[in-house]
Structure 1
């Protein structure tokens, strides 16, 4: 099962920052280690979308969305990452984007 995630540049950057926090952390539980290992394989997709947006000069066009296809387990790990680490985000706009993505993934995974 695949889940298609359409996000703008700002949301993509917010996800990448959250993923980098998870990679730098030392997970203690098995579930956190599982999420971290899935994030390792998912992060290049988001970085590629970010670099493509920079190359195409669509960074400041808010209506331009990047399409990222995630497998079911990748979408689940991303949702768990957002749920567990959203409190560390200080920027209101980034929190809004992350909450929107979390709600979308929650609907698709249910």
Structure 2
């Protein structure tokens, strides 16, 4: 089962920046948290490559959305990761925080 998302370049870059924080988290004894991290590492690599390609093709007026397809478990974990990281490491940039919150809400609706 796949979840299809249409994301703006700004959202992909904001998500890439947030997922970079996963690499700095310490190892946990909680199995559930380790599952989230494991899926999160895969997602971090996926969105990092997307963000890099967007930055290489930098166009200030680019508003096209990018189609991204996630497996159900990836979308499920991504929603949880976004909420947890925003809670523990609040973003000072309100625009990025708004983009990520909107993405989390969108994932929640698609997963329901």
Contact 1:49/1:66 (<8 A) preserved = no
After TM superposition, the runs of 4+ consecutive aligned structure 1 residues lying more than 4 A away are none
Distance of aligned partners of 1:93 and 1:23 in 2 relative to their CA distance in 1, 3 Å threshold: same
After TM superposition, the score normalised by the length of structure 2 is: 0.86
Contact 2:16/2:51 (<8 A) preserved = no
Please list every run of 5 or more consecutive structure 1 residues that lacks an aligned counterpart in the other structure: none
Q: Quick one: distance in 1 between partners of 2:13 and 2:56?
A: 15
Contact 1:6/1:65 (<8 A) preserved = yes
Q: After the TM superposition, which of the residue ranges 71-80 and 8-17 deviates more from structure 2?
A: 8-17
Map Cα deviations across residues 29-82 of structure 1 (whole Å, 9 max, x no partner).
222111110011122221222122233334x23521122111011101110011
Question: 1:16-95 alignment to 2 at 5 Å?
Answer: 16-28=16-28, 29-58=30-59, 60-87=60-87, 88=89, 89-95=91-97
After TM superposition, the score normalised by the length of structure 1 is: 0.88
1:3 aligns with 3
Q: Quick one: distance in 2 between partners of 1:101 and 1:36?
A: 19
Give the superposed CA RMSD.
1.5
Aligned length: 109
Q: Quick one: distance in 2 between partners of 1:65 and 1:100?
A: 15
